[in-house]
Structure 1
Amino acid sequence: MILSDSNRLTVHHPTLDSLGNAMSPETPSLPQTLQLPAILAALQNGALAALARGPRHTYPLHSTQINITLDPATDIFPTTTTAALSSAARLAVQAALKAASTEGDTVLMEPVMHVTISTDENSLGSVVHDISSARGGQVVSLGGDDDSDSRSSPPLGNRALAIDPKRIYAPPDPFAGSAGEADVAADVNGQRQVTARVPLKEMVGYLKHLRALTGGRGTFVMSVDRFELMGA
């Protein structure tokens, strides 16, 4: 069965069939108080608990194959409960993971975030340099607020009637400068978006640093993108 974080669990029960019945008269069957689906669920819960706290710094494990063998003759007793099976599975998986970690087959992974940063044109160069150089990130794309205008628009029947703001009269602002100055300011201070992949450890406290780079005008959002090998 497939677990979270690309982990996999396989439970072998060679003396039981898919319904939990003994495959041979010489082998014991499950007690009436325990059904095979309940046992499998208990073993899964125990394995998940062990995978959530790995042997290295109690970090959760990723892409791990767990094999559990269930033999009613040695593992199931008349007083056995699902809680006891879950606890036994957790302890067994923890011991196996600890033994495997000493063989050098495990590596540390770190989350890489998908980050979208909004900043003004003047601060764009500083933000890109900080992401790609100081923080070891990878810039995926650079865009502006008007990028969505270049996409194909749906047919008129499937969208609201478009309104051209230039055809709507608005009284002039007496406190604003000339039209030429306003256009220049809009071009200089236009918002740009930077999309990048950055290790999570480099994004801790990034908002304060971004505000310092952009004079308080920068913002960002991020989500988990992938896991990669942790750098030295």
Structure 2
Amino acid sequence: MAEKPVLDRPQVKKAVQALQAFLKNKASGEALFLDEAQHVSLLFTLWKIPKEAQTIRIPLPHGQRSDTEEICLFTRDEPNMTSDQTQRFYKKLLQERGVKSISEIIPYKVLKTEYKPYEAKRRLLGNFDLFISDDRIRRLLPTHLGKHFYKSKKEPLCVNLQSKHLARDIERVIQGTSLKVTNKGCCCMARVAHSGMTADEVTENIEAAVQTVVTKLRMVRILSCVLHLVVRF
């Protein structure tokens, strides 16, 4: 049975407020959290190195991505359709389902051909903040994306494009987060907020992340861990 995490909520909120004060001072008198591109991450330092690596998907009560982030969707190639027709097909599908967060749609054939050169892959990686993919092609993507996608921790997150609740499922994937736990060290980090959120929202996301990690982490017993808030500028 998973251990129930012991978090001092008032202390967590104090840490968040201290971080807010630091960012406010750094902004030199400008509006608090003016730059929403600042990511707030939670660093877990486990007392014991896990025996096996795993990726933990973490749902969050408050979206941790700002509205300005660019998101790319990789889709399968629809039978008897050209790449342009496939792109229009999924664009219409997303519109009908109320999905407004996708910036660009790239069919699998386009990924294989137009983004085959190394420099094209590098540009693709730099043009978007997040990649998601049709779960029907997820096993085909590593070969065509290259190692730099995975080293940059931007590997696509999978979604079922045939879901009856597509808008909800895509939103959960986009606004949730994940924690990559390795068996080569005791530190791992997950992005849990952005600098445009309130102290209560950040605190609630931290609580949700810790609860999920403690529940899903495949360790016989989690003795203790140290948590740090990290901001990327």
Q: Which has the larger radius of gyration?
A: 1
Fold-level similarity (TM above 0.5): no
TM-score, normalised to structure 2, is: 0.22
Q: Which has the higher contact order (CA 8 A, sep 6+)?
A: 2
TM-score, normalised to structure 1, is: 0.22
